[in-house]
Amino acid sequence: MKFFNFHTHQFTNNPDILELVNQYPQDFDVSIPYYSVGVHPWYIVEDRIDADLQIIEEKLKEHNCLAIGECGLDKRIEIPFEQQILAFEKQLALAEKYKKPVVIHCVAAFQEVIAIKKKMKISVPMIIHGFSKNNNQIANQLIKEGFYISFGKYLLKNPDLKTVFQNIPNDRFFLETDTIEENIQQVYEIASKYKEFKNNELQNIISVNYKNVFQSH
């Protein structure tokens, strides 16, 4: 692979790109080669959660299921926070059982996500996707607590994120497109510029990070 797209909702089938496509238990496309599967906090349905988790557990046994998620916590939605925590913790337990990395959706709940990681003694890699906070303190704390951070939309749209991204250690980040129209090559371009790398240097760094996170588990 030349490019690794850590988190996307659109499968492009480009041979140069390994795409980790986000899938939902109730809306699953078996033709997608590599995917993550999870219950997003926005889509928690209380009386369906056990059925969703059962589907997720079945998918986690497949070799082309690279991760669980996206799952996590979001303080800006109507779904009760306690319900979100319960769904998140159950998915983390599955991640530990099957030794799969976790793609995390986190909005205004970083301290809670960190606390749950500690409480549950999670040993698999946990990656915060779509990082948007222009806040070195939060980014540094996440790195210190063992998280990886993935950048995409906000790296392209928010120049203020440049300094935060520049300060992330090279062995702790990924790049993604999520739902944006721009392609992963454009995200790599701006990341190369900010980190002052040649394109192939950045490709090598992310390739190593990919191996460390996804092939050692």
Query: Is the four-CA dihedral 22, 64, 214, 122 of positive or negative sign?
Result: positive
DSSP-based helix, strand, coil % in the chain, nearest 5: 45, 20, 35
Residues spanned by the domain of 15: 3-215
pLDDT band at 215; cut points 50, 70, 90 = confident
Average pLDDT of the chain is 97
Burial of 142 (0-12, 13-18, 19+ CB in 10 A): buried
- Residue 7, marked binder: no
CA 59 vs. chain centroid, Å, equals 17
DSSP class of 161: G
- Residue 178, marked binder: yes
Rounded mean pLDDT, 56-80: 97
CA 123 vs. chain centroid, Å, equals 16
- Total of domains in the chain: 1
- Residue 217, marked binder: no
Q: What's 10's domain CATH number?
A: 3.20.20.140
What proportion of the chain, given as a percentage, has pLDDT over 70?
A: 99
pLDDT higher than threshold 80 for residue 217:
no
Which residues does residue 64 pair with via DSSP β-bridges, in sequence order? none
SS3 50: helix
- Residue 182, marked binder: no
pLDDT in tens, 70-85: 999 999 999 999 999 9
